[in-house]
Amino acid sequence: MSDPGYLLDTNCCIYLLSRTRPVLETRVGKCATGSVGISAIVGAELILGFVDADANLKAMLERFLETFPLQPFGERAARAYADVPFRRGKLDRLVAAHCLALDATLVTNNERDFADVPGLKVENWTLA
């Protein structure tokens, strides 16, 4: 499996799961199969968020994760993390490193949180 060209940030995953941003759904729907993925870091945040959910919501998350498979956070990402400006307690820094390692574009509605990361490609697909 080749690396996806885009990784979804947690906020965009939540928008897709809750179907609250039609423009995002449309843009993702136009992407080729396998070109959009999810960092294992974002996957961990989502799975944690659904721990206390009912069975139907957990099943919805599992279907979502089948559509957008988790990308492993491997050695390249671990090494890229050293080049990301540090902020204590921010998983965003790990997500940014993962995108850099995969040469992927981060799809987020929080561009400001990533503006200080050199070389990171960021797009906001929630805007009309």
Amino acid code (one letter) for 11: N
| DSSP structure class, residue 123 | E
Measured from the Cβ of residue 81, the count of other Cβ atoms closer than 10 Å reads 17
Tokens of 64: 């979502």
Count of CB atoms situated within 10 Å of the CB of 124:
14
- Asked if residue 1 belongs to a domain, the reply is no
pLDDT tens digits, 67-100: 998 999 999 999 999 999 988 778 999 999 999 9
Which residues in 35-95 belong to E strands, given as ranges? Answer: 36-39, 70-71
The pLDDT of residue 33 is 92
Number of domains within the chain: 1
Would 47 be classed as within a structural domain? Answer: yes
In a domain, 107, yes or no: yes
CATH of the domain at 33: 3.40.50.1010
Structure token pair of residue 109: 């509605």
pLDDT of residue 1: 57
Return the pLDDT at 109: 97
128 lies in some domain: no
pLDDT for residue 87? 83
Give the domain range for residue 55: 6-123
